[in-house]
Amino acid sequence: MKTIIWYGNDLRVDDHLPLEEAIRYGDPIEGHYFIRPDELTENRYGVVPLGRRRLRFLNESLSDLAGSLEAFDIPLYVHVGHPLDVLDRDDRLLFQSSIGYDERRLERDVTIGWRGEWRAFDGFTLYRRDEIPFERMPFLFTEFRKKIEHDAVPDRLIERAHADVALPLQFPVAIEPVETDERSAFPFQGGDRAGRERLAHYLNGPVRTYKETRNGFGIDDSSKLSAYLANGSLSPRRVLHELEQHEAKHGANESTYWLYFELLWREFFQWVALEQGKRLFRAQGIRSKQKSWRADIEVITRWQRGETGVDFVDSFMRELNATGWMSNRGRQIVASYFAKELGQDWRFGATYFESMLIDYDVASNYGNWAYQAGVGNDSRDRRFNITRQQETYDPTGAFRNTWL
């Protein structure tokens, strides 16, 4: 009998419970990763979810994982298709549980059809299910944060070293070349090595002023850890552990706390998504708030291309199109503009982000989009004044001039 590790958004060996459990059994181990066919085909919103930059980043991340797994004598296979069509159902199956609705539905199908033993583990979040001190998730982030800060303690970190070299993989999808734009805020390179290097770099200085710079658009203004957290090359507990080590050595300040604060936003949206399931994707959102959304393809296309005529919005969208990245401030502004000023169905915006963002994460993306559209975890339904935003965050027009 073999032990199969079914990989998803957990592309690492560090702090990885399925790997630890697989080693404990002592049977031969294989790693398998599956791309769902629907991720590669155009959806009802007119986009291919796994866009070409995301695909390239995935390929790099998997090659790094293959390198790290080689040290454990574990081969890694990548497929497009359904696990039950490829794997031997009598083997032992171990995997990290997903958060997203489609991913969980697939896990349910696989475990129902599985004949051998199987086990699922938490690992995408800072806290595990039984460490979250809520019967039901609070609607507002502040309530969640306060209780978590007071009551929750993350499980200990299980440390494993990654390899120094990637292993070229048989990747089942053609990787189209993507150009690196010289204006890119951070040309993301996939893999656990790159994620750990970025974390070390950020904690070695920039984090000390994070609270003041985080709304900026430059390389060290924010951590740029999101893409590594999104596909699990980096464990959130690893980030917290290193942050605490940094604070023990250099002292905590408002900025080091703020990085933790932002990680709690991530955490919040994960648990909301898990609880809400399919409701996260409804036009009326988790608040069941009826709004008359429009779906004007010409308007949507102009927004996507960065051709709305509103400079600040267009600059951010062009940055996204050229690099696969946009700052948090930019995301808030373009999402608010799309839903509140243009009145377009927010899901067209969210799916476009899904296809384009290298750091796409289902819970953070749909949770934040619904929030900006006024149908998510915010009772105020605010709108951004774009002119005022530009005056505050790009007073000299430097960012605008970079992209227009």
Residues lying near ligand FAD in the complex (CB under 6 A): 214, 222-226, 229-230, 259, 262-263, 265-266, 269, 327-328, 331-332, 335, 353, 357, 359-361, 364-365, 368-369, 372
Indicate the residue among 3 and 355 with the shorter CB distance to ligand FAD. 355
Indicate the residue among 304 and 332 with the shorter CB distance to ligand FAD. 332
Q: What is the dihedral of CA 20, 21, 23, 27, to 10 degrees?
A: -160
The β-bridge relationship of strands 118-121 and 29-35 is unpaired
On whether the CB atoms of residues 186 and 219 are closer than 8 A, the answer is yes
Largest CA distance in the chain: 64
Q: How far is the CB of 178 from ligand FAD (least distance, A)?
A: 18
| Span between the terminal Cα atoms of the chain, in Å | 59
Indicate the residue among 49 and 67 with the shorter CB distance to ligand FAD. 49
Q: How far is the CB of 196 from ligand FAD (least distance, A)?
A: 14
Alpha-carbon gap, residue 124 to 129, rounded angstroms: 11
Q: How far is the CB of 82 from ligand FAD (least distance, A)?
A: 25
Q: How far is the CB of 354 from ligand FAD (least distance, A)?
A: 7
In residues, how long is the chain?
404
Indicate the residue among 64 and 359 with the shorter CB distance to ligand FAD. 359
Q: How far is the CB of 117 from ligand FAD (least distance, A)?
A: 33
Indicate the residue among 30 and 361 with the shorter CB distance to ligand FAD. 361
Alpha-carbon gap, residue 320 to 318, rounded angstroms: 5
Q: How far is the CB of 165 from ligand FAD (least distance, A)?
A: 26
Indicate the residue among 94 and 375 with the shorter CB distance to ligand FAD. 375
| Beta strands in 154-311, from DSSP E residues, in sequence order | none
Alpha-carbon gap, residue 302 to 17, rounded angstroms: 45
Token pair 């060290």 in the structure block, residue = 220
